[in-house]
Amino acid sequence: MQNVNVDLAVRIFRHIGEVSMVWALDEVNDMEEKTLVAGHLALLIEDFDAAEKNFLNSSQPLEALDMRRDLLHWPKALQLAQKFAKDQIPFISKEYAQQLEFMGDYSTAMQHYTDGILDEEETEEILEHNDVCRSGVARMAIRIGDIRRGIQLASKIEGRAVKKECAMILEQLKQFNDAVQVYEIGQFYDRAAAAALKAKNWSKVNELLPKVRSPKIHAQYGRVMEGEKKYKEAAMAYKNAKDYDNLVRVLLDHLNLADEAVRVVRESRSVEGAKHVAKFFTKLGDHTSAIQFLVLSQCQQEAYQLAEQTGKMEDYAEALGDTATIEQYAQVAEHFATQGSTLLAGIYHFKAGHYSVSMDYLLSLGENHEALRTAIECVAEAGDQGLVHRLTQFLLGETDQIPKDAKYLFRMYVALNMTREAARTAVVIARDEQSRGNYKVARDLLYAMYQDLQEKNIAVPLEMQQSLMLIHSYLIVKNLIRRDETLKAARMLIRVAQNISRFSTHSVSILTSAVVICTKAGLKGAAHRYAVQLMQPENRNRIDAKYRKKIEQLVRKADKPSDGEEPKASCPYCKHPVIETELMCAMCKNTIPYCVITGRHVVAEDFAVCDGCKFPGYFTEFKRLAAIGETCPMCGGNCGQVMPSDWETFIASTRTKKDEL
């Protein structure tokens, strides 16, 4: 009959859609014991006392205990556990204590936490249970005022959580010094310092600060120290807190450490700090520094007004740097224009992107180096062919019939990547200097332009390379003679003499030197050849008197001596033997680089590159110069830093810059 009634109830609840009741009744339906079924049915209709009575009268009285635990009826659960399951009393006590703690009944909670502690062998599960109970006892001891005991208990329990909990309770009770102690035991240094601040225990805060990571704590301590007029400690605390605004203020207002304040602002870029520094310098009358820091603090308009009032507009413009807007550059340009500062007006109109207006100002200054340099940058950035044509005409003198120094034309061509034009101009400039006899000036000019092209990854034209090589070959002759390398000096003079038309100003003295040095080197054939050349009518009267007689005697000799065959060295490209001073391989048709020290062509097996100018040479020659304390004859670099180089790597790098001409 019972199961029939349950089945009927199931059908009814299923019909009305009470799914939970259907599931609950299905579980009961299979039970045969009436009292057990009655207990479950009473539980379903929430008649808990009836359910308990029926469970206790059934064969499963522990169902009553489970019901009371599930319902959180802890007192009744404890009573039932005392009768039927004493082993569950500690666990129920723990759960009851947690509820009592939540409700604020701390004394009773403490008793139940104590009852919950197990004396059995501590397995992992029991250890976890006991930690909860002991932690509860420690918390409740503090709650009821037994603070010493609570701290002692918390200190003995492993783990940091209980210490944090107990310390937080102590803070709630305003027992800040005790909270500091417990936080410190638990290694919660930031919280310990915060509690010490509340306790106004400054010595403890200071002790804890090295372990504190929170900027907020450092900042709070800084404010306290500032209030106590301990400004050095305040500054250190603000620094640790990275509170640069307050740090700068304290450094300026209280410690008078302006240099340190400036350093902090520059490193931190603190806007408020920069304002403080600007005000400080304004009071001192240092308007330049005040303007710099107003710009740094993003008070550009105030900085502009101060610059205008004090005549420090250049300082303002410099302070803006690359961060200025087009409008700011234009404002500065107009100021300089009204003040008659033509160059600066042109420069800042260029920075503002007003290229045509900028050119008007810059070109009005004639051959002014800074103006022309900026004009070249202007046309390069503008990319306007009209401006390029205008500047070209100006540099050539077509505008004012005054041709400008050709170096500006060269720089313009380089800036515009006009390789052909740049190369031609460079050679023209060098030849002009060479024709005046300024060989070192010409060599240095070609070298500088060579480096400009290399830096911009523009191929250096062959004509420019040859001009540099010839002048450099002449300039190294004196060094070779000084080192008693007479034969090498003679070979270089022969190379120069073969191109004597390029050295017209000193042609006679160069040919005379060639005759003298070739004679000393035993190259009598070359000496005779250049002596004959000197005896030509156009040269004869210009020969130095002390050499004229010897040269005449040399020419009168009937026999024409031969110098024999010049030594050869392998071509670094194809290994074919090539005369040492020849720079063209007849086999592979490659132009061979020359050694900047001797002028001979380089070889792969004794190859090095100067660290300074990146020109090649013999490694053994670099070592020899380093040993006697001499520098690279091309750039003046330290030969001692030169190391052997790989020929193939050098060639691979130069092939990326093929001659476009």
Please provide the average confidence, as pLDDT, over all residues in the chain.
Answer: 82
Note every long-range contact of 382-385, with CB atoms under 8 Å and residues 24 or more positions apart, other chains counting. Answer: 382/355, 384/355, 384/356
Q: Tell me the C-alpha distance between 191 and 501, whole Å.
A: 89
Q: Tell me the C-alpha distance between 571 and 590, whole Å.
A: 9
> Is the pLDDT score of 231 beyond 60?
yes
User: What does the pLDDT read at residue 494?
Assistant: 95
User: What does the pLDDT read at residue 660?
Assistant: 39
Instruction: Give residue 572's pLDDT band: very low, low, confident or very high (50, 70, 90).
Output: very high
Instruction: Calculate mean pLDDT across residues 432-446.
Output: 85
- DSSP code for 469: H
CB atoms within 10 A of CB 643: 9
> Is the pLDDT score of 40 beyond 50?
yes
User: What does the pLDDT read at residue 426?
Assistant: 78
User: What does the pLDDT read at residue 299?
Assistant: 67
Instruction: Calculate mean pLDDT across residues 47-61.
Output: 74
> Is the pLDDT score of 3 beyond 60?
no
DSSP class per residue in 69-102:
HHTT-HHHHHHHHHHH-GGGHHHHHHHHHHHHHH
> Is the pLDDT score of 343 beyond 50?
yes
Q: Tell me the C-alpha distance between 658 and 640, whole Å.
A: 31
Of 464, 434, 460, 461, give the one whose Cα is nearest residue 446: 464
Q: 607 burial class (0-12, 13-18, 19+ CB within 10 angstroms)?
A: buried
Check: CB of residue 634 under 8 Å from CB of residue 642: no
Range 567-661 classified under CATH 2.60.40: no
Instruction: Calculate mean pLDDT across residues 474-480.
Output: 95
Q: What percent of the chain has pLDDT over 70?
A: 85
Instruction: Give residue 402's pLDDT band: very low, low, confident or very high (50, 70, 90).
Output: confident
Instruction: Give residue 479's pLDDT band: very low, low, confident or very high (50, 70, 90).
Output: very high
Lowest mean pLDDT among 16-30, 371-385, 427-441: 16-30
User: What does the pLDDT read at residue 653?
Assistant: 76
Instruction: Calculate mean pLDDT across residues 530-548.
Output: 88
Check: CB of residue 645 under 8 Å from CB of residue 609: yes
Quick: pLDDT tens for 147-177.
888 888 888 888 888 888 888 988 888 888 8
Instruction: Give residue 285's pLDDT band: very low, low, confident or very high (50, 70, 90).
Output: low
Quick: pLDDT tens for 303-323.
667 667 776 777 777 767 766
Structure tokens at 126: 């029991």
**Which residues are registered as beta bridge partners of 638?**
631
Check: CB of residue 180 under 8 Å from CB of residue 189: no
Q: What percent of the chain has pLDDT over 90?
A: 21
Residue with tokens 């030169």: 642
**pTM for this predicted structure:** 0.49
Architecture of the CATH domain 2-201? Alpha Horseshoe (1.25)
Beta-carbon contacts of 248 under 8 Å, excluding residues fewer than 6 positions away, are: 261, 264, 265, 270, 272, 273, 276, 277
DSSP class per residue in 220-233:
HHHHHHHHTT-HHH
